[in-house]
Structure formats: C-alpha cells, structure tokens
Structure 1
C-alpha cells in the first residue's frame, strides 16, 4: 500500500493548483482523477484582477498569464446607455486547456493516478482511499476537489443544503460581427435593461483571436425560453437585450451554444478528521456574481499556504486542525461575500420593486460619474485621445 502526505481527489482547476503548490513545497502528493487529459468543459472562462492577485499567492499566476488573453479595456452599458469605458485587467481562457496546462506544472514527484475514488475511510491518523482500479492508498490528509460530485460526500455523511434550485443559468458561445470587420471594443459588459427579461448581463471578451460571450439569466430549467435560445440564439438574444446591437452592431453567434445551470448549495457535517473540502465541493457560487473562481482560489491558497505544511509537521490530523481551515477569516469572508453577491446580483436583475429599480438607476449614475471623472483627469494630464476613457467610437452602422 502506497502512503502519501496528501491525496487530492479531483484535478480540475482547484485540485491541479493544490497539487502543484503542495508538491513544490516538498510534500508527497497523490492526485486522483479519472481523466488523463482534462476534457473541454464549460466552466470558468476568465479571471479578473482581484482573482489574479489571489492566484499570484499560489505561485502559478505566470502559467495563467501565458495561457490567457488580457482584454485591456472594456465598455460598460447599463439600462441601454453607455455608462463607462475603462481600463480592464480580465484574462480570458479556455478552461480545459488551462487545467491541462496547470496539470503539466505539477512536479513529477507527485503521483498522478487515473482512476476514481470509490470510498474513503477517514480517521484522525490516516485516510484510506479505495480506487476504481482496485488499489488502496493511504494519506495523512485527503483534499476533496471533486466539484459537484455527490457520491463521496454522501458516503462520508456530509450533507448538502440547497439554498436555491437553479439559481442562475450561464450560456457560453463565440460571437462575431455580421457586417463589420471587428467589434468597436476590446470587451463589453452589457447589463439587462428591464427585470421582465430575467437576465443579468452579457459579457464579451477576447480569447486569442475569438470574441467569447458569457450570458447570465435567471430561468427555470423547464422554461420554454431556454429551448428558444438554443434553437434561435441571435433572435432570442435580441429580444431580451434589445439595445445590445447599438453597441455591437449586427452580430452572429458562431459555434456551439453551451449551457450550465447552477444550484446555490452549502454543506453540513464537513468538519471531519483528515478531510478537507474546497471549491464547489464545499459550496457552490453563482457565476453571474463573478465570485466562483475567487472562492475556489481563496480556498486553495489559504489551505496550501496557511495550514497543510503546519499540520504535517505534527502528528495526527484531528478535527481541531481541520476546523482551523474552515474558520480562517479570509475564507469565511470569501464565502460570505460569494453568497451575498449571488443574492444581490439576482435582485438587481429581476426584482421589479421600487428599491431595486432605484438602485439600478443610481448605479448607472455612479458609473457615469466615474467615467466623467476619468475623462477630466485624462484631459488635465493631456492624454485625451490615448486612453479607453475617451468618447466611444461609433458602433458599426447597421445596413438598411
């Protein structure tokens, strides 16, 4: 029976980063994932500057920078108006390609096992993992980075509390201008114009030479609108975002339209000896709120930089050690913020009440005021005409 310091179950984004960090720190690491090559998967497709700063603390940001495309500037529209043009530091990427690049950065000292974990017997001393190959391994600590997989959590008595079924649905697709040579912006975030459309926003950003779009809506899975969007995406998009074409010009959706619904869930009974849950395995985040990637990155960074090496330096892996990670102030704040933003983002998009309507107009005013302030600063510094704060270019003219 092979023995390790840490066994990481799941080698997606979170698991691959954890494996690279812990193996680089000199720990004996086993990484268990059924897929030899991570498949094309519709999940996280960009990091913003805040997420990149968390990633920098893992020591792996250079890999992400080399595998992504910086947007540099973005137009922001609200309630059908151009609210702002500003500098931007978002990095777009293909999720599967990025995960495989991160896997390649895991030091060869780590044992890569292409199998499924069928059972875990955990204890304050050693964790015994049974694999689908029939092999059994032992580790002092088991890290579950298994995403939405329920079987292992359930077998360990870890419950799942559903806060909101189908909290949001995300669509992903490539876009191109139907008549112009290119879009008049590097990136665009276009917010929904009215709660009746039940949409949060669409964001367009570059990945290489492609313009990628993520579109966030609040619909039930049995809503006939979903089928209409899959069957006629351009017409359906125009109906729910009627002013979008004012900024993009006529556009065309190319390639497959991918869809990902997300339930908002938390776990219970997770403080157990020798076992840590990270990312979606611990609790989901709403993609429309933009906190899911940061939440997973904070989990991994705090665990690998703040706790694992210290735990391994002393005997045992009891609940006092494990509980310290879940009580980490930065992790707890990240989890609270993620849940709060999920609820606020949804209310801002779909609540027709006076309070949320007023907040939408106030947000437009605040964004425009910030843009005006930046324009004034650019004028005073003599850089007007050389910054993304300048008056927008005229969108491509639509043909008659």
Structure 2
C-alpha cells in the first residue's frame, strides 16, 4: 500500500491543476485517472481575462497563454445590428490539448496512477482508495475532481440535487467563409435576434488557424430543432439568425458538430471527513453564462492556496477542516454568481415582454454610445500623437539652429 498526503481522483482541468499546485508545494500527491492521454472532449474552449487572472494564481497562466490563441478584438452584434467593436483578451484552445499540456506541467514527484477508483473508504484521519487494478492507496485527503461521474459521490452518501434539467445546450463546430477567403473580424459575438428562436448567442473565435463557433440555445432534448441543426446546420442557423450573414458573409460549417446538454445541479450531504469536491463534482455551471471554467478554477485555486497546507499541518482530517473550504468567501461568492448569471441570462433571452424588448434596445444604444466614445477618443489620440511628431527637414536643408 502506498501512502500520500493527497490523492486526487480525476485528471481533467481541475485535477491536473491541483496535482501541479500541490506537487510543486512539496506535498506527496497521487493523481488517479484511467487515461494516459486525455481524449478529445467538448467542454470549455476559451478563457476570458477574468479566468486568466485566476489561472495566474495557480502558477499555470503562462503555460496556458503559450498553448492558446489570442483573439485581440471582438465585434458584438445585438438584435441583428452591430453594437460595438472592442479590444478583447480571450484565449481559445482545444480542451483535450489543454488538459494534456497541463498534465505535462505536473512535477515528476506526483505519482500518476492510470486506473479507475472503485471505492473510497473515508474517515477522520486516513482515506483508503481502492483501484480497478486491485491496488490500494492511502492518503490524508482525497480531492474528488471526477466531474459528472456520480458513482463515487453516491457511494460516499453524497446526493445530486437537480436545479434545472437541460438548462442549456451548447453546439461546437468550425466555420469558414464559403468563398474561401477569411472572415472580416478576429472574433464575433452575435446575440439571438428574437426570443422565439431560443438562442442566447453564437460566439466565433480563433483556435490556431481555425475559426471555432460555440452556439448556446435553450431547448429541450426532444426538440426537433436539435436534429434539424445537426442534419443541416448552415440552413438551420441561417433561418434562426438571418442577420448573421451580414457580418460573416456566406459561410460553411465544417467538421463534426458537437452537442453538449447541461443540467444545473448541486450536491447535498457533501460535508464528509477526509474528502473534498471541486468543479463539476461539487456543482455544475451553465456554459452560456461563461462562468463554468471560472467556478472550477476558483475551487482549485482556493483549495490549494488557501486550505490544504493548513489542514495538513495538524493531525486529523475531520469535517471541521473540510467545512472551511466550502465556506471560503471567494468560493461561495463564485458559486452564487455562477448560478445567478445562468438563471438571469436564460430569463432575459426568452422573455418576450415589452419591458424586456425595451431593455434590449436600451442596451444596444448604450453599447453603440460607448463604441462611438471610444472611437472618438482613439481618433483624438492619433491626431495628438501625429501633431507631436517632429517635422523632417527636406533633404539637403540645414539642420536646426542652436
């Protein structure tokens, strides 16, 4: 039997970051996951500047920057009209490639065990983890970063409580101009043109040389629209967002169309000795609201930077220690914000009341006003900079007098 300070179950985004952070801090860490190479998976595909700030606190920000594509600027459309063009600092990537890159950052001191976890016997002092290989490892703390897998949670007496079944559905696909040229933007976000289409927005952003698109819709899994989109994505999207082609021109959807429905759930009875849950293992977030990756990153950063070292400094791993993580102010604020934004975006997207329409037009006017002010300020700065440049003397003329 091998013994560790911490055993991490799951080597996706959360588990790989946690293993790197704790391994670099000198802890004896085991990372358990059945796959040697993380497979292609349709999950988060870009980080914004807020998420990158959290990543920098984990010590992995530079590695992610090197493996992602910077959009630099984004055009935003509302109600089928251009609302603004602004500087952007979002980073696009393939999720599977990103996780494999993060795995390469894990220190050699971390024991990477390629197996499934079959059981976890937890207690107030030591945790025993049994693997599919028959091996057993012991640790003072188990970090459950196993994502949507419900089996281990149920075995520990932790219940899943659904808050919203099929909260949203995300489609992911590559797009290219039908004429074979390039799109006239670095990145583009177009919000739904009418509530009846049940589209939150579509966002286009670069990953390497490809233009990636994520489409967020609010529909039930039995809705025929989903099958229609997968069968004829260009025609279905053009019908749902007829003004999209104003900004993209004629386009093609190339490669596979991936679909991911998301249920919003939280866990109950999660306060257990010796075991802590992070990311989707604790609670899901809606990708349309753009908070899923941040919520998971905050979980890992606060656990590894704010709690584990203190827990390991004294004997035992009872619930009084574990409870401090779930009560962490930054974590709880992140969880509340994630759920509130998911709920509010869906409500605003589907609301057809006159008040909601007035708010949409008011927001469009506000964005356009901000855009105009920014453009005027930029133009003024360029004029001032040009006026301050010294005039060059004609060739052969005497230089300036002393």
Which TM-score bucket, shorter chain as reference? over 0.9
CA distance in 2, matches of 1:179, 1:79: 26
Per the TM alignment, residue 354 of structure 1 is displaced from its structure 2 partner at its CA by: 2.7
Where does the alignment leave 5 or more consecutive residues of structure 2 unmatched? 387-402
Matched ranges for 1:246-325 at <5 A: 246-325=246-325
Per the TM alignment, residue 180 of structure 1 is displaced from its structure 2 partner at its CA by: 4.9
Quote the residue 1:341 is aligned against.
341
Per the TM alignment, residue 361 of structure 1 is displaced from its structure 2 partner at its CA by: 1.7
CA distance in 2, matches of 1:66, 1:357: 42
Query: Rg larger in 1 or in 2?
Result: 2
Name the SS for the 2:362 alignment partner: helix
Per the TM alignment, residue 355 of structure 1 is displaced from its structure 2 partner at its CA by: 3.0
Per the TM alignment, residue 60 of structure 1 is displaced from its structure 2 partner at its CA by: 0.4
CA distance in 1, matches of 2:383, 2:163: 49
CA distance in 1, matches of 2:182, 2:26: 48
Quote the residue 1:86 is aligned against.
86
Quote the residue 2:152 is aligned against.
152
CA distance in 1, matches of 2:367, 2:59: 34
Quote the residue 1:51 is aligned against.
51
Name the SS for the 1:181 alignment partner: coil
Q: Deviations over 1:211-253 (max 9, x none)?
A: 0000000010001111100000000000111100000000000
Per the TM alignment, residue 357 of structure 1 is displaced from its structure 2 partner at its CA by: 2.2
CA contact (8 A) 1:199 1:218 kept: yes
Computed over aligned residues only, the root mean square deviation of the Cα atoms, in angstroms, reads 1.2
CA distance in 1, matches of 2:356, 2:145: 36
CA distance in 2, matches of 1:350, 1:159: 31
Per the TM alignment, residue 164 of structure 1 is displaced from its structure 2 partner at its CA by: 0.6
CA distance in 2, matches of 1:352, 1:222: 23
Quote the residue 1:136 is aligned against.
136
Quote the residue 2:194 is aligned against.
194
Name the SS for the 1:57 alignment partner: helix
Name the SS for the 2:296 alignment partner: helix
Per the TM alignment, residue 353 of structure 1 is displaced from its structure 2 partner at its CA by: 2.0
CA contact (8 A) 1:36 1:114 kept: yes
Quote the residue 1:26 is aligned against.
26
Q: Deviations over 1:108-144 (max 9, x none)?
A: 1000011111111111101111111111111000001
Per the TM alignment, residue 364 of structure 1 is displaced from its structure 2 partner at its CA by: 1.2
Task: State TM-score, norm by structure 2.
Answer: 0.94
CA distance in 2, matches of 1:203, 1:329: 32
Quote the residue 1:356 is aligned against.
356
Size of the alignment, in residue pairs? 385
Per the TM alignment, residue 338 of structure 1 is displaced from its structure 2 partner at its CA by: 0.2
Q: Deviations over 1:49-93 (max 9, x none)?
A: 000000000000111011100000000000011000000000000
Of 375-384 and 28-37, deviating more is 375-384
CA contact (8 A) 1:348 1:360 kept: no
Per the TM alignment, residue 383 of structure 1 is displaced from its structure 2 partner at its CA by: 6.7
The answer to whether residue 119 in structure 2 is matched with residue 115 in structure 1 is no
CA distance in 2, matches of 1:370, 1:102: 38
